[in-house]
Structure 1
Amino acid sequence: MTPILRTEHLEFLPYRPQDEDHFVDLLRNEEVCRWMGQERAPEQDIRALFRAIRTDVYPTNLFDVWGLWLDGAYVGHAELKKTGNVDGHELITALVPEYWGRGLGTEVARGLLRYAAEELGLKEVYGMVGAENTASLAACRRLGFRHVRDVVDDDGAVTRMLVISTTEPPVD
């Protein structure tokens, strides 16, 4: 079962039924979709995805997925799961735009990296960041992520595949 995690400011909580609207609002937000490199999906599809997390992902321990909370307010989403891009695990984060630029993305990544190392025993973790997402790429560089390769989608959009060791001391 996905555990509860805590960092200095954030609580990572497995999603509860009452969190569905927060999840839908986040993943229907045009800015969030743009920086995640995905099309804005219909609301019914995102609601089905939320229900699948609760009925399929959690009961089978398929991967870890959390809602992110700051002082009782929903601020985003995080996942740590096997990736199809390489033989490894990928961390995924998305924050509510009102919380961008506050260092929370970095705090989320550090929390996920600590969990990956200490609880899952992973030696490295991957991230996928859109080439135009300069703020997230800068945060990844500060954390110590290294560029592996670029992935070019059919539409020409470029995503940077990054990797970070979980066995080296974190970069501040």
Structure 2
Amino acid sequence: MNKIIFETERLLIREIEVTDFDNLFSICSNEELMQFVGDGILSKELTQKWIEVSIENYASKGFGMSAVIHKSNNLFIGYCGIVFSKAINDYELIYAIKKEYWGKGLATEVAARMVQYGFEKLKFKTIYASIDPANIASEKILLKIGFREIYTKHDEAGYPTIYYSRTDEVII
């Protein structure tokens, strides 16, 4: 189906599909990529369930976790999206990019555009993000795209987590 959500200069963001399972599982089962993600490594069953929930979210809410495709080679390089977080009872930005694409500004590129999409298309007034305090790379991305730290608390699993927010305000 390949329903495109938006494009950036180097990336194509589209709805996740059942056929993305192997690519998504290669990220969700990678210890280094998932070390800072609250849910940690996902099993095959949980990865499949996440795809199913995401497809349902597109149908019922109009958004969810999305595939990140690099335009230069048409490869699935990560995921990004806005999802409902039970921990904050609101909508949260999520993203992960395969390690071989780190350090090229791609996570910043897709995260910034996803936030813009959240404000312009989905009409959110505030978008949240949460990170492990050791995830310095994600902290830099969030600060670069206009998020501000709001508090630190322990997540559902008992791990310290820094929460950020960004509002849809025009800064003059």
Distance 1:169 1:110 in 2: 16
| Structure 2 residue aligned with 1:145 | 147
CA contact (8 A) 2:54 2:64 kept: no
Residues 1:116 and 1:136: Cα distance change in structure 2 (over 3 Å): same
- What letter matches 2:37 in structure 1? M
Shift of 1:10: 0.8
Q: Say which of 120, 124, 127 aligns to 1:125.
A: 127
The correspondence of residues 88-167 of structure 1 with structure 2, limited to 5 A, is 88-153=90-155, 156-167=158-169
Gaps of 5+ in 1: none
1:33-80 residue CA offsets vs partner (Å, 9 max, x unmatched): 1021333232232123323433x3333236422100012011110121
**Conservation of the 8 A alpha-carbon contact between 1:123 and 1:166:** yes
Tell me how far apart the structure 1 counterparts of residues 156 and 19 of structure 2 sit (CA, whole Å): 37
Give the total of aligned pairs: 168
Preserved contact between residue 91 and residue 109 of structure 1 (Cα < 8 Å) = yes
SS of the equivalent of 1:35 reads coil
Q: Deviations over 1:139-168 (max 9, x none)?
A: 212222111111214765211100112223
Q: How high is the TM-score relative to the length of structure 1?
A: 0.86
Q: Report the CA distance between 1:3 and its aligned residue.
A: 5.4
8 Å CA contact 1:82–1:88 kept in 2: the answer is yes
What is the TM-score with the length of structure 2 in the denominator?
Answer: 0.86
Note the residue ranges of structure 2 that are not aligned, 5 or more in a row. none
AA aligned opposite 1:57 = N
Q: Is the 8 A contact 1:113 1:166 kept in 2?
A: no
Alpha carbons of 1:156 and 1:65: their partners in 2 closer, same or farther (altered >3 Å)? closer
Could you report, residue by residue, the CA deviation over 1:5-34 in whole angstroms, capped at 9, with x for unpaired residues?
111111111122321110111111111210
- Deviation string 1:93-129 (CA, Å, 9 cap, x unpaired) is 1111111111111111111111111112222211011
